[in-house]
Structure 1
Amino acid sequence: MTKKLFYNGDIITLEDNLYADAVLVENGKILSVGKKDELLNGNEDAEMVDLQGNTLMPSFIDAHSHFFGYANSKLQVSLEDAVDFEDIADRIKSFIEKNDIQKGAWITANNFDYNTLAEKTYPRIDFLDKIAPENPLIISNKSGHNGVANSLAMKELGITNDTPDPEGGVIFKENGELTGYLEENAFINNVQRVPMPSTEELMKAVIKAQDDYASYGITTMQEGMVMPLLADLLAYIAHSKMLKLDYIGYVDIKEKDKVLEKMQGCVKEYHNHFKIGGFKTFLDGSPQARTAYMRTDYKGQEGYRAYPVMSEEELEKQIEIALKENMQLLAHCNGDAAVAQYLEQYKIAKEKLNTTEDIRPIIIHAQLIGVDQLPEVKRLGMIPSFFVGHVYHWGHIHVENFGLDRASKISPTKTALDEGIKFTFHQDAPVIEPNMLETIWIAAARKMKDGTVLGEDQRIPVLAAIEAVTKNAAYQYFEEDIKGTIKENKLADLVILDKNPLKVDIDEIRNIKVLETIKEGNTVYKAK
């Protein structure tokens, strides 16, 4: 591979010496960092890459998303920013006509958020039946934790008026009749059973989605929930050598035996850019849907704090499995009661097994983690991965659900920083786009959509926000020796930006453009 020498721009290393004059890359790795003239000595054959005043820094690392779901969303109806029920109807009818959807074929719609609708609620089953009278239709909330289905979908999924609620979920009924609304496990378990598009369609969508991630400056992405059916497709993707970015999967711990037997050669080591990184579990739901498990009441619902997805005993068993098998565990925790459950059961499991094994357990989302819980998080070596984008995208909903004071403490990043906790950021794509620069801006500005600041005392410096999606994310993956900073012998995973996020006004960060993304020395995205 040709040597490349990058120079004439701001080069942010994220090492002790924050800036460098030049970087020399060869065979996919960083060969040397230092002064341009010194690096050229003996390397006169290097290709000279003039940054022309732009900024070079470590590429972004996706700490949590559902990449395959993001790819699959390319084949679904987008309800992003729908304004009312009729808008939803028009989009779905247009999708059916445009794509010549045949009678009986499944239709799925995503990015639904009733908070943006004039009606401020979900459409009912009878309304959906009118939109798609000949097709099973299921609509997924942006959070991925609830949704609504029409009668044909309910029939295909085997859900009737007599179907009981599953553990950790609710099938909503009125006067004993189905409304179409499914919440938590009632939705999550059933949406997984919706037939997938053809392999050819999916692979085209995967290629497009991978290009999208690269366009955001990302070179490592995540599959946040690998179930048996998806395992077959991931094995196919890995063996087909279609990946140009690193892709790390986390296995549904309840299905681990079925999944891992299909992933031989990919467990904790890359095969054609894919590997299994650990296990995944769910402890609660979504704060927007008022299903995040809380220690205090939701505003306007005295005595209601939502509910846990599993018992303490079941969680302890799952943690013991992860510790015994030395597999990292990602636990979905939005509410502070769910976090408390995770902290307590992890401590009990470690003491019971008398182990010092460090699996770097992850608290995914950590939206409403209490500042009082952070010292214990640090003591146990847990890593909160904050969905800090909630401040901008759903800040007003948090204010409605919890009041201004409690909402101001969502994603308490400054307190975590002061505690010396390594934390990461994510976008949970396809919930929102995997836009790292927007996330960095939100963490530093903490502005809601109306421009109001939510939690000024939880703002963090831009540098700390950048570290959360680079060096800290590398640490989360046990890859701090090969990724996350610009240092000799690390992978040449780099991104070129048109401006330096450390030198522009905070509100300009979200407008910075990714000019080029480089994976192991090779350009995987270049702006046109």
Structure 2
Amino acid sequence: MRNITKLLLLIFPIVWLFSCGQSDNKKADNQKTPDSRLYYNGHIITMETEEVEYVESIVEQNGKIAFTGSLKEAEKLFTNSEKIDLNGKTLLPGFIDPHSHFGMVSNTMGQVNLNPPPVGTISSIPEIIEAIEKFKNENEIKDGDWIFGWGYDDNQLKEKRHPNKMDLDAAFPNNPVYLQHTSGHMGVANSLALKAMNVSKDTPNPEGGNIDRIPNTNEPNGLVQETAMYPFVGNMLQILSSKQEVYFEKTQNYYAEYGITTAQDGMTDRNTLQFFQKQADDGKLKIDLIALAGYSDLDKNLADSSIHFKKYSNGFKVEGTKVIADGSPQGKTAYFTKPFLTPTPGCAHDCKGLASLSQESLNTIFKTAYYHDNQLFVHCNGDASIDMLLQAHEYACKELQQPLDKDRRTIAIHSQFVRPDQLEMYKKYKIEPSFFTNHAYFWGDVHVENLGKERAFFLSPIATADKMKLKYTNHSDATVTPINPLFTVWTAVNRISRTGKVIGENERATPYQALKAITTNAAYEFFDEDLKGSLKVGKLADFVLLDKNPITLNPAELKEIKVMETIKAGKTIFKKQ
């Protein structure tokens, strides 16, 4: 009996420990960290089909989409998911920025905001001067230092003209000042700035540019357009580059606030390409960033083994090369086959705008790029510049004995005043347009006045392009207009001008067409269609969560939709407080 008692005393602690271990294991199993996230009870729009498609649930696992379909099936397959109730909100693929200038958006953080309402508050030249004076004082800018401003719009100023060097000289005799026009295609410099950039009465107009003059003299009045502004912009970028890293994270956050999970820098110099790659390699990218290298460096970039075109490296890639073929329609430097209907700076008659490059130069760029399978993104607003693009495409294909319809995805950026026959050529040659319907709101009235209704009403024709099955996109061109994809959806669907006029009733897009332009079609234009742009198993879990459903909402209210959360590869990078 004593031996049995001893045995029981030995066994009891072992049994007790074993049972405790089992209890702890069960507790650990019940508290195991979820290995996925299951979203349900909302409007989940896949963007995968020609017509609107909803699914009951979607599961994210390891940064990718693991499931889309019924909630019951999701719960059965993913038993260890964190369940996230959308509470009736709308979940879409993360927005892809088809074309903006990430670097310029960043640089504006070191400049005076001179935008008119609703972006800013400036409506007259005295208000421009007052804003610059305030900026100089607040930032303790010393005499002799440069002052930069951005976003002024002569079309929206009370004076209905550009500020000039006389306006700026009177207020800032001791600082070089350069102000960038909202179009990004021209700017105004004061006398000290003109002197610093070696622009005088003896300076000839550069090819593809204009130095505007004081009437009856050859003296510059301060306005420099297209290629004539390049030295001023280059100088500005060099000076502001010292704060590039400071503004980088802030700029990413700004994009993320608007639901953007992939951003673009629409023309990037070689130094900035290196800067972006370093930020990516250091793990500082919250969103994907796509850069377009500048065409002036095409040969250098193609020979540079450190530049890997079309391939992401830590969230950054150089997709292709940006070419500027003409200017700005609201600035009257876009290149048309028919003249502007109103007076044009630097032009006395038959004013059709400016081609930024000769046909021969454009042909050479196309031939070089096509030979190296380098994707081209060509800025062309006016129909004459689009004719040049098509001619360069045909030339390069003929010279290289390549098919005209090879899958190169050459992108005609803006294509604002494309003609119907040119859209047919896009389709035939597999060239895709990236439209800019924000112009309907910001400058629709100006375009009617400058170009007439026929041209103005066919601005950025998404409805026609969709019928033709083109893979169009639609962009903000920030800093030209605000980086807000939902505002861009609103302009595409409503096409309402500042004064409430409809700029081309027949080209109003449906909300779904407008959403395709910043999701599936945008992914296609960047050769990313297998990676992102729609909610499909295997793609990145890039999501944007909206407070309302743009498909069912009153079209007039689309711009009021709020981004509630932005998710990049399964991780929240913005959440509305």
The answer to whether TM tops 0.5 is yes
**Is 1:340 equivalent to 2:380 in the alignment?**
no
Partner in structure 1 of residue 528 of structure 2: 479
Within-5 A mapping of 1:25-40: 25-40=60-75
Q: Deviations over 1:248-297 (max 9, x none)?
A: 11111221344566771543211221110001111110001111110112
Paired residues, number: 528
Q: Does 1:64 align with 2:99?
A: yes
Paired amino acid for 1:271: S
Query: 5 Å matches for 1:385-464?
Result: 385-464=434-513
Deviation at 1:405, TM superposition (A): 2.6
Tell whether the 8 Å contact from 1:232 to 1:262 is kept in structure 2 after alignment.
Answer: no
For residues 242 and 465 of structure 2, what CA distance do their matches in structure 1 show?
45
Residue identity opposite 1:278 in structure 2: G
Q: Which deviates more from structure 2 when the two are superposed, residues 386-395 or residues 248-257?
A: 248-257
Is 1:3 aligned with 2:36? Answer: yes
Partner residue, 2:174: 134
Secondary structure, aligned partner of 1:372: helix
Distance 1:88 1:424 in 2: 34
Do structure 1's residue 272 and structure 2's residue 314 form an aligned pair? yes
- Indicate yes or no: 2:229 matched with 1:187: yes
Q: 1:215 to 1:413 in 2, by over 3 A?
A: same
The 1:265–1:363 alpha-carbon spacing in structure 2 relative to 1, beyond 3 Å, is: closer
Cα separation, 2, equivalents of 1:250 and 1:237: 17
Q: Distance in 2 between matches of 1:345 and 1:105?
A: 43
SS in 2 for 1:213: helix
1:143 matched to which residue of 2? 183
Q: Which has the higher helix share?
A: 2
Q: Which stretch has the larger CA shift, 400-409 or 474-483?
A: 400-409
2:325 maps to a residue whose letter is: L
Partner of 1:167: 207
Q: State the secondary structure of the residue aligned to 2:236.
A: coil
* Aligned residue in 1 for 2:47: 14
Are 1:266 and 1:274, in contact at CA under 8 Å, matched by a contact in 2? Answer: no
Q: d(CA) in 1 for partners of 2:100 and 2:171?
A: 31
In structure 1, the residue matched to 2:277 is 235
Look up the equivalent residue of 1:409 and give its one-letter code. Answer: F
CA contact (8 A) 2:188 2:224 kept: yes
CA displacement, residues 296-341 of structure 1 (integer Å, 9 cap, x when unaligned) = 1211455221231212211111011111111110000000010011
Structure 1 counterpart of 2:164, from 124, 135, 140 = 124
Q: Deviations over 1:10-29 (max 9, x none)?
A: 10001237100000111110
Counterpart of 2:369, as a letter, is: A
Superposed counterparts of 1:70-109, under 5 Å:
70-81=105-116, 82-109=122-149
8 Å CA contact 1:227–1:259 kept in 2: the answer is no
Aligned-CA RMSD value: 1.6
Decide whether the 8 Å contact of 1:228 with 1:258 is kept in 2. no
Within 1, Cα distance between the matches of 2:334 and 2:241?
35
Shift in Å at residue 430 of structure 1? Answer: 0.9
- Whether contact under 8 Å (2:209, 2:354) holds in the other structure is no
Shift of 1:41: 1.5
Give the 3 Å change call, closer, same or farther, for CA 239–105 of structure 1 in structure 2: farther
Question: TM-score, structure 2 length as denominator?
Answer: 0.89
- In structure 2, relative to structure 1, the CA distance for the partners of 1:200 and 1:282 (3 Å cut) is closer
Separation (CA, whole Å) in 2 of partners of 1:203 and 1:49: 35
One of 236, 256, 273 as aligned partner of 2:298? 256
2:399 is matched with 352
Which of the residues 331, 336, 344 maps onto 2:378? 331
Question: Among the aligned pairs, what percent are the same residue?
Answer: 39
Give me the whole-angstrom Cα distance separating, in 2, the residues matched to 1:45 and 1:409.
53
- 1:467 is matched with which residue? 516
Is 1:509 aligned to residue 558 of structure 2? yes
Superposition deviation, residue 172 in structure 1: 1.5
2:434 is the alignment partner of 1:380: no
Asked if the contact 1:231/1:259 (under 8 Å) is kept, the reply is no
Normalized against structure 1, the TM-score is what?
0.97
The letter for the 2-side match of 1:420 is K
Q: How many angstroms apart in 2 are the aligned matches of 1:341 and 1:25?
A: 46
CA contact (8 A) 2:107 2:237 kept: no
Q: Are the aligned partners of 2:325 and 2:355 in contact in 1 as well (CA < 8 Å)?
A: yes
Q: Which residue among 49, 59, 81 is the counterpart of 1:46? A: 81
Deviation at 1:510, TM superposition (A): 0.7
The answer as to whether partners of 2:110 and 2:240 remain within 8 angstroms in 1 is: no
C-alpha contact (below 8 Å) 1:235/1:262 kept by paired residues: no
Query: SS in structure 1 opposite 2:573?
Result: strand
Q: CA deviation at 1:158?
A: 1.7
Question: Which secondary structure state, in structure 1, belongs to the residue aligned with residue 388 of structure 2?
Answer: helix
Name the SS of the counterpart of 2:178 in structure 1: strand
Are 2:343 and 1:297 aligned?
no
Q: Compare 305-314 and 86-95 and name the one that shifted more.
A: 305-314
Aligned residue among 191, 202, 213 for 2:255: 213
> Which of the two has higher C-alpha Rg?
2
Q: Show the counterpart of 1:281.
A: 323
Helix, strand or coil: the match of 2:502? coil
CA distance in 2, matches of 1:238, 1:474: 20
SS class of match (1:193): helix
Q: Could you tell me which amino acid in structure 2 is paired with residue 347 of structure 1?
A: E
Distance 1:351 1:198, change over 3 A: closer
Structure 1: segments with no counterpart, 5+ residues:
none
Matched, 1:152 2:185: no
Give the counterpart letter for 1:162 in structure 2. D
Q: Show CA shifts across 1:445-467 (max 9, x none).
A: 11111221110011121111100
Give yes or no for contact 1:446–1:455 (8 Å, CA) kept in 2. Answer: yes
